Each structure stands twice: as C-alpha cells, then as structure tokens.
Amino acid sequence: MNWAGRNVLVTGAGGFIGSHLVEELVARKANVRCLVRYNSRGSLGWLEDIGREAYGAIEIVQGDLRDADTVLAAVKDRSVVFHLGAIISIPFSYVAPGEVVAVNIDGTLNVLNACRTVGVERVVHTSTSEVYGTAQFVPIDESHPLQGQSPYSASKIGADKLAESYYLSFNLPVTTVRPFNTFGPRQSARAVIPTIMVQMLTKAAVSLGSLTPTRDFTFVTDTVAGMIRAVEAPDSVGRTINLGSGREISIGQLVEAIARISGKKIEVEVQELRLRPKNSEVKRLLSDNRLARNVMGWQPAVTLDEGLLQTLRWIEGRLDLYRRAQSEYIV
C-alpha cells in the first residue's frame, strides 16, 4: 500500500507505541494527525522525543477521548484511524477503576462512533494480551477465553467487544490487534524491562515482584509493523489478531538475559509491594501468531536480545529521566 498522502489519525500518539507508529507513518509520507490527551503542562508525551523532521510533519490535537466532540473533530477527513489511546496501568486500575473504564471504554465508543459518522476506510483498534488473563492453554490463539483479572484488562475486554460489535452491527471496517508485551525505547518506567534496567544501572540490587510469571515480549518496531499490516491486509477486517513473538520467558529468566547482554551481575530481591493481588496475577502469556502470519504476512523480525540491547542503550542515554519517573509499581 502506498501511504503517501493518506490522511491518518493516531489516538494515544504521545504514548510509547503511538509515538513509534507516528514516526513510521511520517516516514511513509502519510499525513498524520495526532490526538494527545490535554494536560496543563502542554506536554506531548513521547512525541517530544521523535526526530525534528518527523515532529514538523505532524498535526497535533490536544483533547480527551471522553469528549465526543473532540474525538469527532480529530477523526474528520481521516481515511485511516489507529486507536491506541488508553490508560494502560494495571496498578492504577486497582486505585481508580472508574477513570480507567471511562477512558478505555467510553473513549473507544467515541472513536467508533466518530469513525462511523465520518465513514473512515479502516480502523485499527488496539487491544492487549492482558485480556486473556492467565493462559488456560498455550500457545494462546485468538479463540482463548477472555478473563478480567484486573480492572484494566476488564476495560480492554469491554473496548474490544465494542469494536467487534461495530463491525457486526454497522459494518465498520475495524481490525483489532492484540499486542503481547511490547517493549523498547520510550516504554513506561513502570514496565518490567525498564524497571530492571534502571535499577541495574543505579542500585546494588533490583527489586521486583514475582519472578515466575512468563511473558511473550515483542519489540516495538515489530508491533508497529503489525498495526500497519492490519490496514494493508484486506482479509484482516472484522478480525482480532495477536501480535506476539511466540517466545516465552519468565521474569527471572528475563533478568538473566538483561544481565547477559549488559555484562553486569544482577542481584534480585522480591518486594511485597510489587506483587499483584493473588488472583489478579497473570501467570503465563505465550502468543500463537499464526493468524497474523497467514492473514497479514506479519512475523517479528527483532530478536529478544537485539531488542534488549537497543532498549538498554536508549535508557542509558536518558537515565536521569527514567530514574525520576520510575514508580514503585510494575505495569
């Protein structure tokens, strides 16, 4: 597909994955509008970190997904909408579930309604592997039961089902992509890989929660490539499609991998504060990515070690920023 001149909207453009998606779309010469949540500081999130040329090429709209008028204005004259805007923090969802539901479900409803009103050609809705909860079977394919093991995952299940309903009820051309544990430069300081790396670089020991859960880590450029392929592949419409590496690694093994690529010895201490509530812990995630390969011709290109090395080098160059931002919790 030729992206040159296509009018595109990215919600959540100031976030980790969103900012990488914006960069790639600009590189492909798309006309990119970015919806960024308004704040009194005027911060544009990670869009402030993209290259000067890319930043100069984008249009920025500040607002809130919960405001239907703002969303409709952002969607106006767009042919493709990538919906990434959401509150993604699992720990925050324990504290403020109402806000998480309002942004993730009501915000998604506003996006879907606006896309239907405008008559956009394609919508990509972003889900999360957290909607599967602890794996009942592996690898996890798209037919796996959905489990709301946190208010965050429950809100994303609701948003996913709204997207599904708008395809089935109104023939809205929407594809739901379901990334598994995306990582890379610009990821939140609360996420497990930055948490390990920042503590490794600044402390004698690394404090973590449970070391036994397993995750399927996918580098951010691969996730972005999957999102773009979801638009380019005609047979993706109406489907939910996993974007995962098909590799499984425990948090304890992840620490060992980071130690190996950094050449440092890492001491680990398990901290009670970092443990999820017992019944909320997702113990195992491993993606079945065959549908993505068969329908979209997508498969990950970056190995775990390659991605970890790129991420480590990026964090080393911004260590003060990450040290200030790092939370007591892990997303």
Kindly list the catalytic residues. 152
Rounded to whole angstroms, how far apart are CA atoms 67 and 35? 12
For the CA atoms of 224, 225, 231, 234, the dihedral, rounded to the nearest 10 degrees, stands at -150
Q: Are 242 and 142 in contact (CB under 8 A)?
A: yes
Q: Which of 72, 3, 63 is nearest to 36 (CA)?
A: 63
Q: What is the side-by-side order of every strand in the sheet holding 7-11?
A: 59-63, 31-37, 7-11, 80-83, 122-126, 174-179, 240-243
Q: Are 148 and 133 in contact (CB under 8 A)?
A: yes
Rounded to whole angstroms, how far apart are CA atoms 45 and 22? 13
Cα angle for residues 16, 17, 22 (degrees, 5° grid): 105
Q: Please list the alpha-helical segments (H only) found in the chain.
A: 16-27, 52-57, 68-75, 90-95, 97-101, 107-118, 151-170, 192-202, 220-232, 251-262, 290-291, 304-316, 319-325
* Pairing between β-strand 31-37 and β-strand 59-63 as defined by DSSP bridges: parallel
User: Which H/E stretch holds residue 206?
Assistant: strand 206-208
* Pairing between β-strand 31-37 and β-strand 80-83 as defined by DSSP bridges: unpaired
Q: At what angle do helices 192-202 and 304-316 cross, to 10 degrees?
A: 50
Q: Is the bond into 139 cis (omega within 30 degrees of 0)? A: yes
Phi–psi pair at 222, nearest 5 degrees:
-70, -40
